[in-house]
Chains A and B, each alone.
Chain A
Amino acid sequence: MSLVTGVGVSAERDLNAAIAAAAAEARSQCPDAVLVLGFVTHNHGAAGLGEAAGILASAFPGAQTAGGQVNGITYDHERYDAVFANRFAVAVVAFGGAGVRGAIALQASAGTSPRSSGSALARDAIERLGTTPVGGIFLGIGLSQVPPVDQQIVDGIRDVAPRLRITGSGLCGGMQLDGSYDPGVAFLGREVVERGVLLAVLGGEVRLGFSAANGMRPVGPGAFVTKVDGAEIVELNGRPAKDVTLDLLAPDSPDLRALFEKNPQVMAIERGITFAAPDLEGDFYWCHSPAMFTPRGGVFDAFGPRVGMGLAVTRIDPESCMSAVAEAAGMLQQDAGTEEFELTLAFSCSLRGFTLGADEDGELRKHVKSRRHIGIVANGEVGCYRHGRPMFTGWVFALLGAATESS
């Protein structure tokens, strides 16, 4: 066995004490780590992150350390969800072992020049790694910037490393009254950057698998995108997109329609209904959830709407949401070519927590044999569906699995 990992989680309310405890636990399992990630629920606040980053760096003097603010953490049958339950936690994930290499890069200006920043991120990370990366973890801006730029950052990474597969999430600094996300804070070593983005890559004696599933099921007639302006769907079926959206997603009552009209994002989550585009290969639907209505009657779609795209009306309920965990687990084993993992790391959309409650972490253990498992409650995910390239999407359960044996 070459790969060694360590995972520590602490729910202490004092951030410094929490990250010290989580780091100590991870270090006890993985004393010679080369790459360490720290995840901090955003309710801890950004002000203390610099000191916390320093504590993490001091705990792992021989490793590159990085991380940032997230919506929550799932670990050992507990869901520390800052969005739905205001629970606090810190997680530290360490990678090491003979022949295992790791490197992390940070970009501070990805929000304004996403594609070139993505390329710079990949170049920097790969140069630091000193070998061809096997895979990586991306921590971006997610849905905290409107329109989102994470797909463009991922495209920039792909420009430099076309075969590099990654998974991850947007970092997140909190939630506004209207349900929109605040930008998260990233750190690399002791450097702290608001809206910073991170790419962590692993290479050498390590084998990784990737997968993603969401559990969306088609339930009825949808609509075709007939006019788009950037991230705004202006028309569906030749009509104002807002009208069509309300007709399709909130047909039951005037009261429900009025709530959807005020905030389609919150109501789509509450009702477990959304638009999604079918994947050509299989029973998978790419999320195109209506995030907000525009003054001219359009619909803002964070996930790259295109003219000609057919959007199905899909539902996501506890049963289908949970079945996605099994689907992702099966896909992961196929992708990695193994059924035994040293570590599985999930990036699960925060919205899934509304549907599922706290059970997701335990469900994965039924389907994957993994020595350690940790989940991050995500803010816009990057996932790979059926051996495919990484895509920025939403509402998914995205998995990275590090195999027990590297060959």
Chain B
Amino acid sequence: MGARVSRLVDRIREEKGPFFVARVCLRVNCRIDDKAPDTPEAERAIVDACRELGYDLAMVEFGASSGH
């Protein structure tokens, strides 16, 4: 289970609600459930999907800390 992806999805759910998470899930081609592995690709896909939906998560969640 990927802690980073899981935390990221929890953060989105907390701020935007579960329907927004469903919209993100629809737009990524990787798992984002609680068994999703932590990979840079998964994190990038989630951040990109959020941005496409008008929610700029990258600066908030990652900034300089993750290198994304």
Contacts and interface: CB of A to CB of B under 8 A. Distances in A.
Interface residues of A, number: 20
B17 A84 contact: yes
Contact of A85 (B16, B21, B23, B26): B16
A85 B18 CA distance: 8
A263 B20 contact: no
Interface in A152-184: 174-179
Contacts of A81: 17
Nearest to B9: A177
Given A177-B21, A177-B33, A86 B15 contact: yes
A267 B53 CA distance: 13
A283 to B, nearest CB: 29
Interface string B10-46: 0001111111111101110000110000000000000
B25 A178 contact: yes
B22 A84 contact: no
- Which of B14, B19, B26, B32 has the most CB atoms of chain A within a 10 A radius of its CB? B19
Nearest to B34: A177
Contact of A86 (B14, B23, B26): B14
A177 B22 contact: yes
- Which of B14, B25, B27 has the most CB atoms of chain A within a 10 A radius of its CB? B25
A267 B25 CA distance: 12
Contacts of A175: 18-19, 21-22
Chain B at the A interface: mostly helix, strand, loop or mixed?
helix
Contacts of A120: none
A177 B27 contact: no
A224 interface: no
Contacts of A13: none
A263 B23 CA distance: 9
Nearest to B12: A86
A88 to B, nearest CB: 11
Contacts of B14: 86
Given A177-B32, A177-B33, A266 B17 contact: no
Contacts of A83: 17-19
A222 B58 CA distance: 42
A266 B25 CA distance: 10
Give me the 10 closest cross-chain CB pairs, A-B, nearest first: A175-B18, A179-B22, A86-B17, A177-B25, A84-B17, A263-B26, A83-B19, A85-B17, A266-B22, A84-B19
29 contacts: A82-B18, A83-B17, A83-B18, A83-B19, A84-B17, A84-B19, A84-B20, A85-B16, A85-B17, A86-B14, A86-B15, A86-B16, A174-B18, A175-B18, A175-B19, A175-B21, A176-B22, A177-B22, A177-B25, A177-B32, A177-B33, A178-B22, A179-B19, A259-B26, A262-B26, A263-B22, A263-B26, A266-B23, A270-B23
Given A86-B16, A179-B19, A266-B26, 14 more contacts: A82-B17, A82-B18, A83-B19, A84-B19, A174-B18, A175-B18, A177-B25, A177-B33, A178-B25, A179-B22, A259-B26, A262-B26, A263-B22, A266-B22
